Structure 1
Protein backbone atom coordinates (compact mmCIF):
# COMPACT_ATOMS: atom_id res chain seq x y z
CA UNK A 1 0.00 0.00 0.00
CA UNK A 2 2.89 2.34 0.74
CA UNK A 3 4.16 1.90 -2.81
CA UNK A 4 0.75 2.88 -4.19
CA UNK A 5 0.49 5.94 -1.91
CA UNK A 6 4.04 7.05 -2.70
CA UNK A 7 3.39 6.64 -6.43
CA UNK A 8 0.13 8.60 -6.14
CA UNK A 9 1.93 11.32 -4.16
CA UNK A 10 4.72 11.68 -6.74
CA UNK A 11 2.31 11.59 -9.69
CA UNK A 12 0.05 14.18 -8.04
CA UNK A 13 3.06 16.42 -7.48
CA UNK A 14 4.20 16.11 -11.07
CA UNK A 15 0.75 16.47 -12.64
CA UNK A 16 -0.63 19.18 -10.33
CA UNK A 17 2.32 21.27 -9.17
CA UNK A 18 4.25 21.04 -12.44
CA UNK A 19 1.64 22.84 -14.57
CA UNK A 20 1.27 25.58 -11.94
CA UNK A 21 5.03 26.10 -11.83
CA UNK A 22 5.24 26.36 -15.62
CA UNK A 23 2.09 28.45 -16.20
CA UNK A 24 2.90 30.85 -13.36
CA UNK A 25 6.41 31.28 -14.76
CA UNK A 26 5.06 32.01 -18.25
CA UNK A 27 2.57 34.65 -17.07
CA UNK A 28 4.95 37.56 -16.19
CA UNK A 29 6.69 37.73 -19.59
CA UNK A 30 3.29 38.20 -21.24
CA UNK A 31 2.39 41.02 -18.84
CA UNK A 32 4.56 43.80 -20.27
CA UNK A 33 3.62 43.24 -23.93
CA UNK A 34 -0.07 42.94 -23.04
CA UNK A 35 0.11 46.15 -21.04
CA UNK A 36 1.96 47.85 -23.90
CA UNK A 37 -0.75 46.95 -26.38
CA UNK A 38 -3.30 48.88 -24.36
CA UNK A 39 -5.38 46.05 -22.93
CA UNK A 40 -8.73 45.26 -24.44
CA UNK A 41 -10.36 41.87 -24.66
CA UNK A 42 -9.16 40.80 -28.10
CA UNK A 43 -5.38 40.67 -27.89
CA UNK A 44 -3.74 37.25 -28.25
CA UNK A 45 -1.34 37.99 -25.41
CA UNK A 46 -4.20 38.81 -23.07
CA UNK A 47 -5.95 35.62 -24.15
CA UNK A 48 -2.77 33.66 -23.38
CA UNK A 49 -2.53 35.34 -19.98
CA UNK A 50 -6.12 34.37 -19.19
CA UNK A 51 -5.35 30.77 -20.11
CA UNK A 52 -2.20 30.72 -17.99
CA UNK A 53 -4.07 32.18 -15.01
CA UNK A 54 -6.83 29.60 -15.41
CA UNK A 55 -4.29 26.77 -15.51
CA UNK A 56 -2.81 28.12 -12.27
CA UNK A 57 -6.21 28.31 -10.56
CA UNK A 58 -7.43 24.86 -11.64
CA UNK A 59 -4.20 23.04 -10.92
CA UNK A 60 -3.80 24.82 -7.57
CA UNK A 61 -7.03 23.14 -6.49
CA UNK A 62 -5.81 19.77 -7.80
CA UNK A 63 -2.56 20.38 -5.94
CA UNK A 64 -4.41 19.69 -2.68
CA UNK A 65 -4.03 16.00 -3.57
CA UNK A 66 -0.26 16.23 -3.13
CA UNK A 67 -0.23 16.75 0.66
CA UNK A 68 -3.19 14.39 1.07
CA UNK A 69 -1.25 11.51 -0.51
CA UNK A 70 1.91 12.74 1.20
CA UNK A 71 0.43 12.53 4.69
CA UNK A 72 -0.99 9.09 3.96
CA UNK A 73 2.40 7.93 2.70
CA UNK A 74 4.26 9.39 5.69
CA UNK A 75 1.89 7.74 8.15
CA UNK A 76 2.20 4.42 6.33
CA UNK A 77 6.00 4.63 6.33
CA UNK A 78 6.16 5.75 9.96
CA UNK A 79 8.13 8.93 9.22
CA UNK A 80 5.64 11.57 10.41
CA UNK A 81 7.99 12.87 13.10
CA UNK A 82 11.14 13.03 10.98
CA UNK A 83 12.74 16.47 10.72
CA UNK A 84 13.07 16.36 6.90
CA UNK A 85 9.35 15.72 6.61
CA UNK A 86 8.39 18.47 9.05
CA UNK A 87 10.53 20.97 7.12
CA UNK A 88 8.98 19.77 3.86
CA UNK A 89 5.47 20.23 5.27
CA UNK A 90 6.34 23.75 6.42
CA UNK A 91 7.85 24.70 3.06
CA UNK A 92 4.84 23.23 1.25
CA UNK A 93 2.53 25.36 3.39
CA UNK A 94 4.60 28.46 2.59
CA UNK A 95 4.53 27.61 -1.14
CA UNK A 96 0.75 27.21 -1.01
CA UNK A 97 0.42 30.55 0.79
CA UNK A 98 2.59 32.27 -1.85
CA UNK A 99 0.46 30.79 -4.62
CA UNK A 100 -2.93 31.50 -3.09
CA UNK A 101 -2.03 34.78 -1.39
CA UNK A 102 0.28 36.46 -3.89
CA UNK A 103 0.50 34.83 -7.31
CA UNK A 104 -3.16 34.10 -8.05
CA UNK A 105 -4.40 37.50 -6.77
CA UNK A 106 -1.61 39.25 -8.69
CA UNK A 107 -2.64 37.50 -11.88
CA UNK A 108 -6.28 38.38 -11.25
CA UNK A 109 -5.46 42.06 -10.67
CA UNK A 110 -3.30 42.22 -13.78
CA UNK A 111 -6.00 40.65 -15.94
CA UNK A 112 -8.67 42.96 -14.53
CA UNK A 113 -6.53 46.04 -15.11
CA UNK A 114 -5.56 45.03 -18.64
CA UNK A 115 -9.16 44.20 -19.50
CA UNK A 116 -10.23 47.76 -18.62
CA UNK A 117 -11.36 46.85 -15.13
CA UNK A 118 -12.07 50.33 -13.75
CA UNK A 119 -10.47 50.70 -10.33
CA UNK A 120 -7.84 48.02 -11.03
CA UNK A 121 -6.72 49.88 -14.16
CA UNK A 122 -6.19 53.18 -12.30
CA UNK A 123 -2.56 53.36 -11.27
CA UNK A 124 -1.75 49.87 -12.58
CA UNK A 125 1.92 49.56 -13.49
CA UNK A 126 2.48 46.51 -15.73
CA UNK A 127 6.25 46.61 -15.22
CA UNK A 128 5.97 46.58 -11.45
CA UNK A 129 3.27 43.89 -11.50
CA UNK A 130 5.43 41.82 -13.85
CA UNK A 131 8.44 42.06 -11.54
CA UNK A 132 6.43 41.13 -8.44
CA UNK A 133 4.75 38.18 -10.13
CA UNK A 134 8.09 36.97 -11.47
CA UNK A 135 9.65 37.26 -8.01
CA UNK A 136 6.85 35.41 -6.20
CA UNK A 137 6.74 32.74 -8.88
CA UNK A 138 10.47 32.24 -8.46
CA UNK A 139 10.02 31.90 -4.69
CA UNK A 140 7.18 29.39 -5.25
CA UNK A 141 9.29 27.32 -7.65
CA UNK A 142 12.35 27.45 -5.37
CA UNK A 143 10.29 26.23 -2.41
CA UNK A 144 9.04 23.28 -4.46
CA UNK A 145 12.57 22.50 -5.62
CA UNK A 146 13.78 22.40 -2.00
CA UNK A 147 10.83 20.20 -0.98
CA UNK A 148 11.62 17.83 -3.85
CA UNK A 149 15.26 17.56 -2.79
CA UNK A 150 14.23 16.95 0.83
CA UNK A 151 11.85 14.20 -0.27
CA UNK A 152 14.60 12.47 -2.24
CA UNK A 153 17.59 12.97 0.07
CA UNK A 154 15.71 12.73 3.40
CA UNK A 155 18.56 14.11 5.53
CA UNK A 156 19.01 12.18 8.76
CA UNK A 157 16.81 9.29 7.63
CA UNK A 158 18.13 5.77 7.25
CA UNK A 159 18.27 4.91 3.55
CA UNK A 160 18.29 1.14 3.88
CA UNK A 161 17.75 -0.94 0.77
Structure 2
Protein backbone atom coordinates (compact mmCIF):
# COMPACT_ATOMS: atom_id res chain seq x y z
CA UNK A 1 0.00 0.00 0.00
CA UNK A 2 2.88 2.38 0.78
CA UNK A 3 4.32 2.00 -2.70
CA UNK A 4 0.94 2.68 -4.27
CA UNK A 5 0.37 5.82 -2.18
CA UNK A 6 3.90 7.04 -2.86
CA UNK A 7 3.50 6.43 -6.61
CA UNK A 8 0.21 8.34 -6.71
CA UNK A 9 1.73 11.17 -4.62
CA UNK A 10 4.74 11.52 -6.95
CA UNK A 11 2.65 11.23 -10.13
CA UNK A 12 0.17 13.79 -8.82
CA UNK A 13 3.03 16.16 -8.02
CA UNK A 14 4.45 15.81 -11.51
CA UNK A 15 1.12 16.04 -13.33
CA UNK A 16 -0.47 18.77 -11.17
CA UNK A 17 2.34 20.98 -9.91
CA UNK A 18 4.51 20.83 -13.04
CA UNK A 19 1.97 22.55 -15.31
CA UNK A 20 1.31 25.28 -12.73
CA UNK A 21 4.98 26.12 -12.37
CA UNK A 22 5.54 26.22 -16.13
CA UNK A 23 2.36 28.10 -17.05
CA UNK A 24 2.81 30.59 -14.19
CA UNK A 25 6.37 31.27 -15.34
CA UNK A 26 5.20 31.83 -18.92
CA UNK A 27 2.36 34.15 -17.90
CA UNK A 28 4.16 37.47 -17.15
CA UNK A 29 5.99 37.73 -20.50
CA UNK A 30 2.83 36.61 -22.33
CA UNK A 31 0.81 39.31 -20.56
CA UNK A 32 3.46 41.91 -21.42
CA UNK A 33 3.27 40.93 -25.11
CA UNK A 34 -0.54 40.94 -25.12
CA UNK A 35 -0.74 44.36 -23.47
CA UNK A 36 1.84 45.77 -25.89
CA UNK A 37 -0.22 44.58 -28.88
CA UNK A 38 -3.93 44.88 -27.94
CA UNK A 39 -4.99 44.00 -31.48
CA UNK A 40 -3.29 40.57 -31.26
CA UNK A 41 -6.12 38.17 -30.38
CA UNK A 42 -3.74 35.21 -30.23
CA UNK A 43 -1.62 36.90 -27.55
CA UNK A 44 -4.73 37.61 -25.48
CA UNK A 45 -5.90 34.02 -25.84
CA UNK A 46 -2.49 32.78 -24.70
CA UNK A 47 -2.81 34.86 -21.53
CA UNK A 48 -6.29 33.47 -20.83
CA UNK A 49 -5.10 29.91 -21.51
CA UNK A 50 -2.08 30.18 -19.20
CA UNK A 51 -4.26 31.61 -16.43
CA UNK A 52 -6.83 28.83 -16.91
CA UNK A 53 -4.08 26.19 -16.72
CA UNK A 54 -2.83 27.70 -13.47
CA UNK A 55 -6.33 27.82 -11.93
CA UNK A 56 -7.32 24.30 -12.94
CA UNK A 57 -4.06 22.62 -11.99
CA UNK A 58 -3.94 24.53 -8.69
CA UNK A 59 -7.22 22.83 -7.78
CA UNK A 60 -6.01 19.45 -9.07
CA UNK A 61 -2.81 19.97 -7.04
CA UNK A 62 -4.77 19.48 -3.81
CA UNK A 63 -4.40 15.73 -4.32
CA UNK A 64 -0.62 16.04 -3.87
CA UNK A 65 -0.67 16.81 -0.11
CA UNK A 66 -3.65 14.48 0.41
CA UNK A 67 -1.68 11.51 -0.89
CA UNK A 68 1.45 12.89 0.75
CA UNK A 69 -0.20 12.76 4.18
CA UNK A 70 -1.51 9.25 3.48
CA UNK A 71 1.95 8.11 2.42
CA UNK A 72 3.64 9.73 5.43
CA UNK A 73 1.15 8.15 7.81
CA UNK A 74 1.67 4.75 6.22
CA UNK A 75 5.47 5.18 6.52
CA UNK A 76 5.23 6.46 10.11
CA UNK A 77 7.11 9.71 9.42
CA UNK A 78 4.41 12.29 10.23
CA UNK A 79 6.50 13.73 13.08
CA UNK A 80 9.82 13.90 11.23
CA UNK A 81 11.39 17.34 10.89
CA UNK A 82 11.95 17.12 7.14
CA UNK A 83 8.27 16.33 6.62
CA UNK A 84 7.05 19.10 8.91
CA UNK A 85 9.33 21.52 7.03
CA UNK A 86 7.95 20.24 3.71
CA UNK A 87 4.38 20.69 4.93
CA UNK A 88 5.12 24.25 6.08
CA UNK A 89 6.76 25.11 2.75
CA UNK A 90 3.83 23.56 0.87
CA UNK A 91 1.39 25.72 2.84
CA UNK A 92 3.48 28.83 2.08
CA UNK A 93 3.58 27.86 -1.63
CA UNK A 94 -0.21 27.40 -1.67
CA UNK A 95 -0.69 30.81 -0.05
CA UNK A 96 1.69 32.47 -2.53
CA UNK A 97 -0.20 30.84 -5.41
CA UNK A 98 -3.68 31.59 -4.08
CA UNK A 99 -3.07 35.09 -2.71
CA UNK A 100 -0.43 36.55 -5.04
CA UNK A 101 0.05 34.61 -8.27
CA UNK A 102 -3.52 33.76 -9.34
CA UNK A 103 -5.03 37.16 -8.40
CA UNK A 104 -2.11 38.92 -10.14
CA UNK A 105 -2.75 36.87 -13.25
CA UNK A 106 -6.47 37.64 -13.02
CA UNK A 107 -5.83 41.40 -12.89
CA UNK A 108 -3.48 41.24 -15.87
CA UNK A 109 -5.87 39.00 -17.83
CA UNK A 110 -8.66 41.53 -17.22
CA UNK A 111 -6.35 44.32 -18.40
CA UNK A 112 -5.58 42.31 -21.54
CA UNK A 113 -9.29 41.67 -22.16
CA UNK A 114 -10.01 45.36 -21.64
CA UNK A 115 -7.15 46.33 -23.92
CA UNK A 116 -5.62 48.62 -21.32
CA UNK A 117 -2.07 48.87 -20.12
CA UNK A 118 -2.77 49.00 -16.36
CA UNK A 119 -2.21 52.78 -16.42
CA UNK A 120 1.17 52.31 -18.05
CA UNK A 121 2.50 50.08 -15.26
CA UNK A 122 2.60 46.82 -17.16
CA UNK A 123 6.31 46.30 -16.71
CA UNK A 124 6.18 46.79 -12.94
CA UNK A 125 3.11 44.58 -12.53
CA UNK A 126 4.51 41.77 -14.66
CA UNK A 127 7.92 41.98 -12.98
CA UNK A 128 6.30 41.69 -9.55
CA UNK A 129 4.19 38.76 -10.76
CA UNK A 130 7.29 37.09 -12.20
CA UNK A 131 9.04 37.54 -8.84
CA UNK A 132 6.27 35.98 -6.77
CA UNK A 133 5.95 33.20 -9.33
CA UNK A 134 9.67 32.56 -8.91
CA UNK A 135 9.21 32.37 -5.14
CA UNK A 136 6.37 29.87 -5.66
CA UNK A 137 8.57 27.77 -7.95
CA UNK A 138 11.50 27.93 -5.53
CA UNK A 139 9.29 26.74 -2.67
CA UNK A 140 8.16 23.74 -4.73
CA UNK A 141 11.73 22.97 -5.76
CA UNK A 142 12.79 23.02 -2.10
CA UNK A 143 9.94 20.68 -1.14
CA UNK A 144 10.93 18.35 -3.98
CA UNK A 145 14.56 18.25 -2.82
CA UNK A 146 13.45 17.55 0.76
CA UNK A 147 11.31 14.69 -0.48
CA UNK A 148 14.20 13.17 -2.40
CA UNK A 149 17.08 13.58 0.06
CA UNK A 150 15.15 13.57 3.30
CA UNK A 151 17.12 12.88 6.48
CA UNK A 152 16.98 9.24 7.45
CA UNK A 153 16.17 8.19 3.92
CA UNK A 154 16.20 4.47 3.30
CA UNK A 155 17.30 5.02 -0.31
CA UNK A 156 20.96 5.27 0.64
CA UNK A 157 21.25 8.76 -0.88
Deviations 1:62-86 (CA, angstroms, capped at 9, x unpaired): 0000000000000000000000000
The answer (yes or no) to whether the contact 2:35–2:117 under 8 Å persists in 1 is: no
CA distance in 1, matches of 2:153, 2:29: 43
Q: Which residue of 1 aligns with 2:15?
A: 15
CA distance in 2, matches of 1:11, 1:19: 12
Q: Which runs of 5+ in 1 are unaligned?
A: none
CA distance in 2, matches of 1:34, 1:92: 32
What is the Cα deviation at residue 114 of structure 1?
1.9
CA distance in 2, matches of 1:145, 1:125: 30
Runs of 4+ in 1 over 2 A off after TM superposition: 120-124, 158-161
1:11-50 correspondence to structure 2 within 5 Å: 11-37=11-37, 39=38, 43-50=41-48
What is the Cα deviation at residue 159 of structure 1?
2.3
**Count of residue correspondences:** 156
Match of 1:80, SS state, is: coil
Q: Which runs of 5+ in 2 are unaligned?
A: none
1:130–1:121 distance in 2 versus 1, CA, 3 Å: closer
RMSD over equivalenced CA pairs, Å: 1.7
1:124–1:74 distance in 2 versus 1, CA, 3 Å: farther
CA distance in 2, matches of 1:43, 1:158: 51
TM-score normalised by L of structure 1: 0.91
TM-score normalised by L of structure 2: 0.93
What is the Cα deviation at residue 121 of structure 1?
6.2
Q: Which residue of 1 aligns with 2:130?
A: 134
The answer (yes or no) to whether the contact 1:112–1:121 under 8 Å persists in 2 is: no
The answer (yes or no) to whether the contact 2:86–2:143 under 8 Å persists in 1 is: yes
